[in-house]
Chain A
Amino acid sequence: MKDLKCVVWDLDETLWDGILLEGDDLQLKPSILEILSILDSRGILLSIASRNNFDQAMEKLKAFGIEHYFLYPEIGWGAKSVSIARIQKNLNIGMDTILYIDDQPFELDEVKLAHPSVTIIQAAKYQELTKMERLTPKMVTEVSNRRRQMYLEDQKRQSAEKEFIGPSQDFLASLNMEFKISLAKEEDLLRAEELTFRTNQLNSTGIHYSYDDLKHLVNSPNHHLWVCELTDKYGSYGKIGLALVEVQEDAWCIRLILMSCRTVSRGVGTVMLSFLMKEAKSAGKLLRADFHRTDRNRHMYMAYKFTNFIETQSNENRIVFENDLTVIQEYPPYLKIVTESIYSIEGGDVI
């Protein structure tokens, strides 16, 4: 079972005792403050799906001093399954990483029927949440601690994007984005491990690498482990992608490349790939790449094909691509690229 990324709460008789619309004297359930704080510090996202008046419910959450915990709260009169779908879309996470908690069996069933992969739990069991293994990530990194903050920055970006009239490339240019590629250092490895576990769409193999695996690879003379970081005028997205390259006699082989789905809409999906192509070419090598097909990573397959990688071996869902590097896609014009190049100084500032 996958780790859960988000807990969606019902309000009445779940988060608090009593019913807001009936004018009850509401009390948060015992230990709720502690539970919210623990989940938040683990990098678990929190949201709300409640049938209530939005302003009234938000006012109450503010009065309890907990409104800041909840991202994209869905408070209204629609079906809970629709609320969950909106939250899922806004957070851009898998349905199978969402847990929904409610006191009413009807609501739980309705959500389960519409979204079978959502985990549901009865409100009475709320004290068990912090003990659930799937809500206890194996690693808590700097990014986990800041995850809610980063989604809040995203919310700001999205509303700025909605207000921006004009072509989206002009909008992207207005963000002053800087994309920095560097060789991984030891302090990057926890986050790198986390990325291999959490990233599904732009992920070439889906192979999980542990901290120790990565530490070994960083010290291996036959491997390069690259990480990339994106910043814009709202702040840093943190380390959002990595590439593991094995140095072979005639070629570099990309054993894994992945980019966090949070930043794909920023048009940075293939920047790392372009960088590796430029580097390999400067080193006088071909570029090979492993691809393991999963039910989520067609986007990555397409990225390889569209950047002129040719399938040289194919065995069911395992493919080896090769690229002779005669054509290399340029970097997006709206991005400043900063690289720690080993071989080339082409196409970016060298640090």
Chain B
Amino acid sequence: MMDEKVARIQIHNFIEEIIDAFHDGELKDSDNIYDKGFVSSLGAMRLLQYIENTFEVQVPDEDIHLKNFNSVDSMVALVQKLKGDASNANDN
């Protein structure tokens, strides 16, 4: 089972690293990162690749949506959902 706290810290740190507005360390997990600063398409692509590589999930088309990537909270929820789907599939 995925450790939600670890995932949260990893995603939080990654966002702080790639998005400048948060270098002062004020990023809250509920903050909408797109409201806080400009996220380029490359930044968004890196977020997607980071999530897929770090958590070994494949994000399907229907989940590639801004609302799943606009805050630490939403990304943690997405990873949990995808991990959950995968372990259910393995049980069957």
Contacts and interface: CB of A to CB of B under 8 A. Distances in A.
B24 to A, nearest CB: 10
Interface of B: 20-21, 23, 37-38, 40-45, 48, 61, 64-66, 69
A332 B23 CA distance: 18
A73 interface: no
A311 to B, nearest CB: 8
B64 A301 contact: yes
A264 B64 contact: no
Contacts of B41: 202, 264, 269-270, 299, 302-303, 306
Contacts of B64: 301-302, 305-306
B56 to A, nearest CB: 17
B23 A264 contact: no
19 contacts: A169-B37, A170-B20, A264-B41, A267-B38, A267-B40, A269-B41, A270-B40, A270-B41, A298-B45, A299-B45, A302-B45, A302-B64, A303-B41, A303-B44, A305-B65, A306-B66, A308-B66, A330-B38, A332-B38
A65 interface: no
Given A168-B20, A302-B45, A332 B40 contact: yes
A303 B37 CA distance: 17
Contacts of A333: 38
B44 A167 contact: no
Interface string A165-189: 0011110000000000000000000
Interface of A: 167-170, 202, 264-265, 267-270, 298-299, 301-303, 305-306, 308, 311, 330, 332-333
B23 A305 contact: no
B50 to A, nearest CB: 13
User: What are the nearest 6 A-B pairs in CB distance?
Assistant: A167-B20, A269-B41, A267-B40, A169-B20, A303-B41, A270-B41
Given A269-B40, A270-B40, A306-B41, 8 more contacts: A169-B37, A169-B38, A268-B40, A299-B41, A301-B64, A302-B64, A305-B65, A308-B66
A301 B65 CA distance: 10
A264 B42 contact: yes
Contact of A306 (B38, B44, B61): B44
Nearest to B63: A305
Contacts of A332: 38, 40
A299 B41 CA distance: 8
Nearest to A303: B41
Contacts of B65: 305-306
